[in-house]
Structure 1
Amino acid sequence: MDRKDPMVSFIDKAEKQTGKLTVLLNDLLDVTKIQEGKLQLNYGRFDAIAMVRESIEEVRVQGGAHNLVFEYAEGAEITADRARLEQVINNFLTNAIKYSPNNDRVEIQCGIAGGQFCVKVNDFGIGIPENKREFLFDRFYRVQESSTHFAGLGLGLYICSEIVKRHHGKIGVESQEGKGSTFWFSVPVQI
């Protein structure tokens, strides 16, 4: 047996923990910026389909056995803050994977409709009780039943909501317990 295996395993675990701490710190910094009205958006024109595709690939590289199925319409040039919208998409994707441990398929759809760039991320996981959905985008809110099984502080969706609102967009969720959830957002193509 190779003596480096325990060290490699230790380093892998340390990298994962460092990544988790980085996400946590970034979330806390974003919440502070939001509360102080200092969350800045850096607008630019870009190919939104390419942005979504890159987000999907980034999540794929992070590991996991989920099949990420991407459906899109061609030609989606928008003016927005690319990094912040990527943050929303990454949150949706990682949540879809996290909350569907017994299903390996996540569907992502995006395109332009009615002057809005729309993204939907659909999982086939645990779903969300109807009486909890209206609170999902509140700061520090976590669905009680899932809190003990899944890590997180309840900041990700709150930050996503604020990013989308600052883009003059809309964000929402449709869900059925035991069958999965669809998180979506839309932002104007041109601000």
Structure 2
Amino acid sequence: MEKLIEDFNLTFQLKNESLPIHLEEKNVVKVIHDTLEKMKLLPESENKRFAIESSHNKILFNMDERYLKRAVENLIANCIKHNPPGTKIKVILYQDVLHDNEIQIIIEDDGIGMDEETVECLFDRYFRGTSASSNNSGTGLGMAIAQQIIKAHGGNIDIYSQPGIGTRFKITFPSPPSKYNNVN
């Protein structure tokens, strides 16, 4: 019940843009690595395979670590919860030098995938997938919360999924502002 109330409160604050985000420059590679290690310890993760790749050991990003971790946890939890044993969940991080150093975090799995209708509704509050083979427990707020946190950090999230192939969440954050960009 406490988790449900916390989720309702968080989604309300995000919807009304009243979440107190405290940005601090952190190494996003370390934050995501630590988050994945925590998720691997969940009982539901026992029969899943995990991997992480990064183009750099250190990618600095202005973030509210607590909330960015929450968004990534929600996305990884979705991959864990709605896929069969043996599913591989992979997180890829890179800073794209060809696109103004934008930061990308990709979370993908080789699981059951989603149909087009599910993909279209995934970030709607209270939406819970319709697949009879998946675990439909939960509030239906996790994906909406993840999307709202990413947007609160100036980012964007896209979903690519096909039934029988798997799912890919692509999070893109604009390049960190340079200390020298403030010259008019």
The TM-score range, normalised by the shorter chain, is: 0.7 to 0.9
Shift of 1:148: 7.1
Structure with bigger helix share is 1
Q: 1 CA distance for matches of 2:134 and 2:53? A: 33
How far apart are residue 34 of structure 1 and its match? 2.2
Distance (whole Å) between structure 2 residues aligned to residue 41 and residue 147 of structure 1? 37
Indicate if the aligned counterparts of 1:167 and 1:188 stay in contact, CA closer than 8 A: no
Aligned to 1:76: 59
Which runs of at least 4 in structure 1 moved beyond 4 Å after TM superposition?
none
User: Structure 1: which amino acid aligns with 2:102?
Assistant: Q
User: What does 1:117-136 correspond to in 2, within 5 Å?
Assistant: 117-136=103-122
* Post-superposition CA distance 1:56-106 (Å, at most 9, x none): 111112232212111111120111212111111111111111111233311
User: Which residue type is aligned with residue 44 of structure 1?
Assistant: E
Q: 1:187 aligns with which of 160, 169, 173?
A: 173
- Residue of structure 1 in register with 2:135 after alignment: 149
CA-atom RMSD, angstroms? Answer: 1.9
Following superposition, the deviation at residue 147 of structure 1 comes to: 8.8
1:182 positional shift: 0.8
Match of 1:52 in 2: 32
Change (3 A) 1:22 1:94: farther
Q: TM-score, normalised by structure 1?
A: 0.81
What's the % identity of the aligned pairs? 23
Q: Within 1, Cα distance between the matches of 2:134 and 2:112? A: 14
Q: Which has the larger radius of gyration?
A: 1
Evaluate the alpha carbon distance shift between residue 147 and residue 158 of structure 1 in structure 2; reply closer, same or farther with a 3 A threshold.
Answer: farther
**Structure 2: gaps of 5 or more residues:** 178-184
Aligned residues: 171
Return the letter of the residue paired with 2:30: A
* Secondary structure at the counterpart of residue 108 of structure 2: strand
Q: Contact 1:78–1:190 (CA<8 Å) still a contact in 2?
A: yes
